[in-house]
């Protein structure tokens, strides 16, 4: 098997360092870059075109599911392996629906991570065995666009329309339209309910 190129995306430098060590102990794997947030991860994945992106779900400003969507739009041949502290089905489904090829709980042992990287690189779907069966017939969450998920993430973090507009490079009016569209799609009419729903459904990260 040819060498597998890997990009690490995690906001904790010590975690990235640990993952790099365990992956590069295997001669078939080469870590080609590291990013500390979702935006940098998308940019680096687009530029480096790694075989696999190993990505934390709870990233600042852009969660792993949104970053996965953006990466696969620019680099569809890249396999995304999400690492998360969340074992709830809703989080797993959110990531798989975004296009992730694998989902591991973050306390995975060395062998599990290395093996998972090799398997997703080979085209397999990998789910942490500790997750149990993912209910295929569970009612899916309403479909939101990638931009709406970005706006929703920032709403959950307590940002105002003006602050969200600054972060995303949009006008406040455009953010207000996105907020209204999200509420309509979710069938929710106030921000507090929307925040609770988004967290419960695993649509956003709260770290």
pLDDT band of residue 147 (cuts 50, 70, 90) is confident
pLDDT at 178 > cutoff 70: yes
* Averaged pLDDT, 141-158: 83
- Strand 126-127 to 4-9 pairing: unpaired
| E-strand stretches of the chain | 4-9, 29-35, 52-56, 79-84, 102-105, 126-127
Q: For residues 132 and 71, what is the distance between their CA atoms, to the nearest angstrom?
A: 27
Q: For residues 22 and 16, what is the distance between their CA atoms, to the nearest angstrom?
A: 10
Q: For residues 192 and 63, what is the distance between their CA atoms, to the nearest angstrom?
A: 20
* Averaged pLDDT, 117-137: 79
Measured in degrees and rounded to the nearest 5, phi and psi for residue 33 equal -175, 165
pLDDT at 196 > cutoff 70: yes
**Cα distance between the two ends of the chain:** 37
Q: For residues 4 and 29, what is the distance between their CA atoms, to the nearest angstrom?
A: 5
Quick one: what percent of the chain has pLDDT higher than 90? Answer: 46
Tokens linked to 76: 């569809």
Most confident of 44-58, 156-170, 183-197: 44-58
Give CATH 3.40.50.2300 domain extents, the chain.
4-131
* Mean pLDDT of the chain, nearest integer: 87
Contact 79, 120 (CB under 8 A): yes
4-131 topology per CATH: Rossmann fold (3.40.50)
Q: Does the structural domain 146-200 have CATH classification 1.10.10.10?
A: yes
pTM: 0.72
If you ran DSSP here, which 8-state letter would residue 76 be given? T
Give CATH 1.10.10.10 domain extents, the chain.
146-200
pLDDT at 106 > cutoff 90: no
Q: Residue 54 pairs with which residues in a beta bridge?
A: 8, 81
Query: For the ranges 15-24, 108-117, 150-159, which has the lowest average pLDDT?
Result: 108-117
């Amino acid at each position: 098997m040819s060498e597998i190129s890997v990009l690490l995306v995690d906001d904790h430098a010590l975690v990235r360092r640990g993952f790099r060590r365990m992956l590069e102990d295997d001669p078939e794997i080469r870590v080609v870059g590291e990013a500390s947030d979702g935006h940098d991860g998308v940019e680096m994945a687009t530029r480096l075109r790694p075989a696999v992106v190993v990505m934390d779900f709870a990233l600042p400003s852009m969660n792993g599911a949104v970053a996965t969507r953006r990466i696969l739009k620019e680099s569809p041949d890249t396999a995304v392996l999400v690492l998360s502290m969340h074992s709830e089905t809703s989080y797993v489904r959110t990531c798989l629906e975004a296009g992730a090829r694998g989902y591991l709980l973050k306390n995975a042992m060395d062998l599990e991570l290395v093996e998972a990287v090799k398997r997703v690189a080979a085209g397999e779907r990998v789910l942490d065995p500790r997750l149990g069966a993912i209910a295929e017939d569970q009612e899916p969450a309403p479909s939101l666009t990638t931009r709406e998920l970005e706006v929703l993430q920032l709403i959950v973090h307590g940002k105002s329309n003006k602050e969200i507009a600054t972060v995303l490079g949009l006008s406040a009016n455009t953010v207000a339209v996105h907020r209204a569209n999200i509420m309509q799609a979710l069938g929710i009419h106030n921000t507090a309910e929307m925040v609770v729903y988004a967290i419960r459904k695993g649509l956003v990260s709260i770290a």
